[in-house]
Structure 1
Amino acid sequence: MKGPGLALLFCLCLGFSQVINAASVVFLNPGRANEPFWASYGRFMQSAADDLGMDLEIRYAERDIRRMLEQAREALQGEHRPDYLLFVNEQYAGPEILRLSRGSGVKLFTVNSQLTEDQQTLTGGTRERYPDWIGSMVPNDEEAGYLMARALLSQQARKTPDQPIDLLAFSGVKQTPAAQLREQGLMRALEEFPQARLRQLVYSEWRRDRAYEQALQLLQRYPEVSVVWSANDEMAFGVMAAATELGRTPGGDLLLSALNNSPEVLRNFLDGRISSLVSGHFTLGGWAMVLIHDYDAGVDFARQGGKDRRVPLFQSLDQRKARRLLHHLQQPGYDLDFRAFSRVGRSGAGTYDFTLDPLLD
């Protein structure tokens, strides 16, 4: 065979070889399939997988820890095992997932919530007692909580100088490391504003409906509250609905924070109803796919910035950044080529630089 026929056969064989050799990844998503944050997180991951030629399967636990562990057992001990498993230390399930992985031959990588120091006294760290647990990547959750609170308190202090500031806080699931870290950031900001008083902190489990019910009671119990800190956007929307029902004006006599990247929260921020918005960590799974792609190709990310990473993904948004982020979210593939972030074939290119900036340009 000569000429075009040979060239066509070569291309077909190359394409078939790439499909056969594509790294397979399962991500145990702890959220619900219709949950805006976790859905957007999965979409960003899938975009990365498509660009990098990887086979990605996302399994949603629907906020059910037992379901997540069953999904882990199936992935790690079932007949069709992936090359890699990504998991979150949701409700401190990490050690059990690691236990299930023994002898599986599957490489593991932790995203979003790393095992706590107490847990790692039992499990060891990555590449120690579980050598197939190859790494972790988490966002700067404490900084996110701090940035939201500082922006809110600064705005209110300018509005009412030398006056006390009463604040309510709505956190997520109490047993989630991300929620605890964001609370620590809130407390750090409160130390900088001695006139601020935290009247009550409640756990709304990341849910709009629960935050709405709690806010209906709390805003009447503490009528002087002028600032509401919320650890995600869904809870902020619940508070906004309750406040409006009670005759308060979000963005006017009541300043609210939010965290995430849904078009709904971006538009509310642009409209002035949300006064402080932090975003960025929905990209983390996509960046993790870049690390796994490179590791699978023989470029160990541990030598390019370390096996365990805390990356500064969270940023406070202003109006320009919010508009740019909203624009990118509406583009096919986010208008990004994830291959540009890989270090494969780029010796001397330096360490990875994962930030929200590519979606703000």
Structure 2
Amino acid sequence: MRKVFNHCLVLLCLPFSMAVQGATVLFLNPGYTDETFWVSYSTFMQAAARDLGMQLEVQYSQRSPERAIEQARTALQGQHRPDYLIFVNEQYIAPQILRLSQGSGVKLFMVNNGLTREQAQLIGPDDAQYAGWLGSMVTNDEEGGYLMLKELIRQRGPIEPGHTLDLLAFSGVKNTPASRWREKGMKRALSEHPQVRLRQMVHGEWNQQRAYEQARQLFKRYPDTALVWSANDEMAFGAMRAAQEAGYTPGSDVLFSAVNSSISALESRISGRLSALVAGHFTLGGWAMVLLNDDSKGVDFKRFGGRDRQVPVLQLLNAEQAATLLKVIRSQAFNLRFTSFSAQGKPANYRYPFTLDSLLHMPQTPAK
């Protein structure tokens, strides 16, 4: 009788134990283990996992698409498979990972870089073959690129008739959707200001040293450069170093823009060395965890904004906002109540309120 009782007790406790542990998630982080943006990205995801009661593992691919695909293969075809796999379509690796997922039983979600138009056309409208593919979440990269250049032009002031402003642009990795969208936004702003001349755009590949070497040549070639647009902070700092060596003063002689929320970027926006800073996309992974947690509880998050969604987390930061975000980034606590974002029990017109303002202004709870 006691054996039967104990057996029943185990069966009763097993679902509770599983519920306490929550869903398991593997995030294939495309960055380096010491890359500021991608480390903060993972940290925000871990904060979400803790609050939501999920189990998160992060594996870094060290900027190697081959390594990311191999990590995906192990996760999707190995013995110990996660409930969910989150990955980035960096270097256009999404189709390979989707193919590897067939029959795995693992649910997939893309962040930051969704499918390109060409990739979506190749996969076709009937994607039933990828039953575990839940969707994607990207940010407003085109708008971010647009806002940066508009802000640089605004701060430079009115351009007198017959005069022009010379612009240099540093884009990221060529085969990355986010890079292409930011370029597109920059060019949209250019079309609205014909007096601003794009003298040259180069691909700095998100790398400070590469951008520095490129900028050394560009400042010699275009000595009248007044504006420098950069698709991330590392390239902005590389170009800034070259400008200083050439005798320019950042924030005065030449205005610089950047994307990111690293401590250096935020401090530079506060000091004025960066004249335009767009930030907020490091939060995407954390918001994705909210969606997957809802899915694990039987909530169809697609009913509350669609399968593939763009969220406006990128926004311009003034010096005061940068100072506020700097305090949050330095603390690395991210003690948001992620559970409050859930669509569970919400009306049909509910939309997940994923914005940078949510992080800056929502009441925070003590760390668990």
- For the 8 Å contact 2:304–2:348, the answer to whether it is kept is no
Give, in whole Å, the separation in 2 of the partners of 1:150 and 1:332.
31
Mapping of 1:100-249 within 5 angstroms? Answer: 100-124=100-124, 128-158=128-158, 163-249=163-249
Aligned to 1:75: 75
Helix, strand or coil: the match of 1:334?
Answer: coil
Instruction: Report the CA distance between 1:298 and its aligned residue.
Output: 0.6
Query: Does 1:353 find its partner at 2:353?
Result: yes
Query: Does 1:292 find its partner at 2:292?
Result: yes
Give, in whole Å, the separation in 1 of the partners of 2:19 and 2:353.
28
TM, length-normalised to structure 1: 0.93
Aligned to 2:334: 334
Mapping of 1:306-345 within 5 angstroms? Answer: 306-345=306-345
Moved more, 240-249 or 195-204: 240-249
Give deviations 1:154-210, integer Å, cap 9, x for gaps: 222437675210000000000101100000000000011110100000001000010
Instruction: Report the CA distance between 1:345 and its aligned residue.
Output: 4.2
Give, in whole Å, the separation in 2 of the partners of 1:81 and 1:125.
28
Instruction: Report the CA distance between 1:124 and its aligned residue.
Output: 3.4
Give, in whole Å, the separation in 2 of the partners of 1:123 and 1:144.
28
Aligned to 1:6: none
Helix, strand or coil: the match of 1:163?
Answer: coil
Pair 332,34 (structure 1): closer, same or farther in 2 beyond 3 Å: closer
Give, in whole Å, the separation in 2 of the partners of 1:284 and 1:118.
24
Pair 343,301 (structure 1): closer, same or farther in 2 beyond 3 Å: same
The one-letter code matched in structure 1 to 2:158 is R
Helix, strand or coil: the match of 1:62?
Answer: coil
- For the 8 Å contact 1:126–1:135, the answer to whether it is kept is no
Give, in whole Å, the separation in 1 of the partners of 2:153 and 2:264.
23
How many residues end up aligned between the 2 structures? 352
The one-letter code matched in structure 2 to 1:317 is L
Helix, strand or coil: the match of 2:252?
Answer: coil
The one-letter code matched in structure 2 to 1:82 is P
Moved more, 42-51 or 16-25: 16-25
The one-letter code matched in structure 1 to 2:91 is Q
The one-letter code matched in structure 1 to 2:227 is V
Aligned to 1:94: 94
Which runs of no fewer than 5 residues in structure 1 stay unpaired? Answer: 1-8
Give RMSD over aligned pairs: 2.1
Give, in whole Å, the separation in 1 of the partners of 2:159 and 2:252.
10
Give, in whole Å, the separation in 1 of the partners of 2:328 and 2:59.
25
- For the 8 Å contact 2:21–2:53, the answer to whether it is kept is no
Aligned to 1:22: 22
Instruction: Report the CA distance between 1:16 and its aligned residue.
Output: 6.2
Aligned to 1:280: 280
The one-letter code matched in structure 2 to 1:308 is D
Pair 162,280 (structure 1): closer, same or farther in 2 beyond 3 Å: farther
Aligned to 1:303: 303
Give, in whole Å, the separation in 2 of the partners of 1:244 and 1:202.
19
The one-letter code matched in structure 2 to 1:168 is L
Give, in whole Å, the separation in 1 of the partners of 2:161 and 2:33.
45
Give, in whole Å, the separation in 2 of the partners of 1:338 and 1:176.
29
Instruction: Report the CA distance between 1:131 and its aligned residue.
Output: 1.8
Aligned to 2:257: 257
Give, in whole Å, the separation in 2 of the partners of 1:49 and 1:187.
38
